[in-house]
Structure 1
Amino acid sequence: MSLRVTFLGTSGAIPTTDRNPSSIFLRRSGEAFLFDVGEGTQRQMMRFGTGFDVDAVFLTHAHGDHVLGLPGLIQTWGFNGRSEPLVIYTPEGTRTSVVELIHAIGHEPDFPVSVEEVSPGSTIRDREEYTIRTIAVDHDAPAVGYALVEADRKGRFDRERAEELGVPAGPLFSRLHEGESVELEDGTVVDPDQVVGPSRPGRTVVYTGDTRPTHTVESAAEDADLLIHDATFADDEAGRARETRHSTAREAARLASNAGVKQLVLTHVSPRYAGNTGLLLREARDAFDGEIVLAEDGRTIEVPYPESA
């Protein structure tokens, strides 16, 4: 099952000629989500071919560079005949601001739009195959991060062993794989643990939004397949990072290393590094031996299942 992340906006605070403000599109099988909706997000969706079939929007906080794309996107959905409801999740204390933003030009959405406040440490989407949870972060505004965590998958079915035990190919294979014991024609009972291996882990994707490095993020990102972390500054602006409640690339990488993350993506890059983003990568690589990517607008990452799966 495909799990794909496309970066629509990767700049910090203001856009540049190469980077839009923050927005991430995530598609998992038939569902699609937006995490943050910076100015110009809808054009980026067209430019990079993500599609517009978004099921829900997840806002990390209500600073302009993370939300100003909402009114235009909602209006475009209306022009395109959308009728499906949209839910927007936003941190506690920001619902009123988000609702006012949606109606800022007196436009009433042509389809149902609900805005729900979420608190850190909550499960806000609980599906059989995955959950989406909020993470406590540390920013200079009410803010949360998000973690999409897939459930464990069934173990591998050992067809050869099943046939050795006399199980005929067909419906009995499926019943065993579903965890049901089966009785053969000769009265022999075959149990699932005889032909089905241990459960296999799903995938975890964590997005911090804007934040200082925190233990809550580190805990949520433990063994994550993909961590998308604020990396606004290089070491030369470490003091500024502390003042504005952002992270340096090195701090993001150190957290990823402590959490055992498989792949780290650095995003929310300050425009001051527009001509020298390699500095962020070099400093991050000093602190993390795993795979590191510096996010760029339009880049798509396919998240594979863990190798042991």
Structure 2
Amino acid sequence: MTLHATFLGTSGAVPTVNRNPSSLFVRREGDAFLFDAGEGTQRQMLKYGTGFGVSDVFVTHVHGDHVLGLPGLVQTMDFNDREERLTIHTSKGTADRIEQLVFAVGGDVGFDVRVSEVSPGEVVLDREEYEVRAFPVAHRTSAVGYVLDEHDRKGRFDREKAEELGVPVGPKFGRLHEGEPVELEDGTVVEPEQVVGEPRPGRKFVYTGDTRPTKATVEAAEGADVLVHDSTFANDAGERAEHTGHSTAGEAGSIARQAGVTRLVLTHVSSRYAGDAGVLKDHATREFTGRVLVAADGMELDVPYPDR
């Protein structure tokens, strides 16, 4: 099953020629989501071919570079005759501001827009195969990060072993894989554990939004396949990062190391690195020896299963 991310906006608060304000598109099989929606997000979606079929927008916090794209996005969806509901999730105490922003111009639209407040630790979206949870972050305002966490998958079905035990090819294979014992013609009962391996882990994708480095992020990102972390500044701007509620690349690398993630993606890149953001990767790799990427607008990332 597909788990694919497209980085629509990777700049800090000030956009640059090559970086739009924050927005991340994630597709999981047939479901599509946005994490934050900075100014011009709908144009980025057109440019990078994601389409507008998102069901949920997960807002980390109500600062302009993370939400000013919402009115335009909603109006574009309306112009495209959208009928399906759009749910915008936002941090506690900010729903009124999001509603006022979305409908500041244009009034009502022809589809249902629901704004839902979320609290740290809450399961925001609960689906059969995965869930999206909010976790606390440390910024200058009410803010959360989000974890897309897949449930364990079924173990591998050993067809050869099943045939050796006399299970006929057909529906009984499926019943065994679903965890149901089956009875053969001679009365023998074959149990699922005889032919199905241990459950296999799903994937874990974590997006922090703007934040200082926190223990809560380490806990939320433990064992993640991908951690997308605020990396606004290089290490020599540590005081500035602390003052503005952001992280340095080195601090993001330290979080990734402590959490034991597989890949770290650095984003929310300050305009001071418009010419070359390579220093951010250099500083992150001093702390984290796994794979480090500096996000760029239009960058696409496939997330494979851990056991591939």
TM exceeding 0.5: yes
Report matched runs for 1:57-96 at 5 Å: 57-96=57-96
Task: Determine the C-alpha separation between the residues in 2 that align with 1:32 and 1:53.
Answer: 7
What is residue 189 of structure 1 aligned with on the other side?
189
Write the letter of the residue equivalent to 1:172: K
Among all aligned residue pairs of Structure 1 and Structure 2, give the percentage whose two residues are the same amino acid: 62
Task: Determine the C-alpha separation between the residues in 1 that align with 2:196 and 2:287.
Answer: 40
Task: Determine the C-alpha separation between the residues in 1 that align with 2:31 and 2:125.
Answer: 13
Task: Determine the C-alpha separation between the residues in 2 that align with 1:148 and 1:189.
Answer: 39
**Alpha-carbon RMSD:** 0.7
Deviation at residue 107 of structure 1 after TM alignment: 2.4
Cα deviations by residue, 1:42-85 (Å, 9 ceiling, x for unpaired): 00000000111001100000000000000011001111000111
Q: Does 1:43 align with 2:47?
A: no
What is residue 3 of structure 1 aligned with on the other side?
3
What is residue 225 of structure 2 aligned with on the other side?
225
Write the letter of the residue equivalent to 2:108: E
Deviation at residue 97 of structure 1 after TM alignment: 0.7
5+ unaligned residues in a row in structure 2: which ranges? none
Task: Determine the C-alpha separation between the residues in 1 that align with 2:109 and 2:212.
Answer: 35
Task: Determine the C-alpha separation between the residues in 1 that align with 2:44 and 2:142.
Answer: 26
Task: Determine the C-alpha separation between the residues in 2 that align with 1:95 and 1:109.
Answer: 18
Write the letter of the residue equivalent to 2:231: A
Task: Determine the C-alpha separation between the residues in 1 that align with 2:87 and 2:30.
Answer: 17
Write the letter of the residue equivalent to 1:126: D
Classify the secondary structure of the residue corresponding to 2:206: strand
Classify the secondary structure of the residue corresponding to 1:87: strand
Classify the secondary structure of the residue corresponding to 1:292: strand
Classify the secondary structure of the residue corresponding to 2:82: coil
5+ unaligned residues in a row in structure 1: which ranges? none
Q: Does 1:240 align with 2:240?
A: yes
What is residue 166 of structure 1 aligned with on the other side?
166
Task: Determine the C-alpha separation between the residues in 2 that align with 1:89 and 1:195.
Answer: 42
- State TM-score, norm by structure 2: 0.99
Task: Determine the C-alpha separation between the residues in 2 that align with 1:257 and 1:106.
Answer: 47
Task: Determine the C-alpha separation between the residues in 2 that align with 1:54 and 1:127.
Answer: 15
Cα deviations by residue, 1:257-281 (Å, 9 ceiling, x for unpaired): 0110000000000000111211111
What is residue 17 of structure 1 aligned with on the other side?
17
Cα deviations by residue, 1:132-165 (Å, 9 ceiling, x for unpaired): 0001000001000000000000000000000000
Classify the secondary structure of the residue corresponding to 2:107: coil
Report matched runs for 1:83-122 at 5 Å: 83-122=83-122
Deviation at residue 128 of structure 1 after TM alignment: 1.3
The number of residues matched between the two structures is: 308
Task: Determine the C-alpha separation between the residues in 2 that align with 1:198 and 1:16.
Answer: 48
What is residue 177 of structure 2 aligned with on the other side?
177
Task: Determine the C-alpha separation between the residues in 2 that align with 1:283 and 1:26.
Answer: 27
Give the ranges of 4+ consecutive aligned residues of structure 1 lying more than 6 Å apart after TM superposition. Answer: none
Task: Determine the C-alpha separation between the residues in 1 that align with 2:276 and 2:43.
Answer: 26
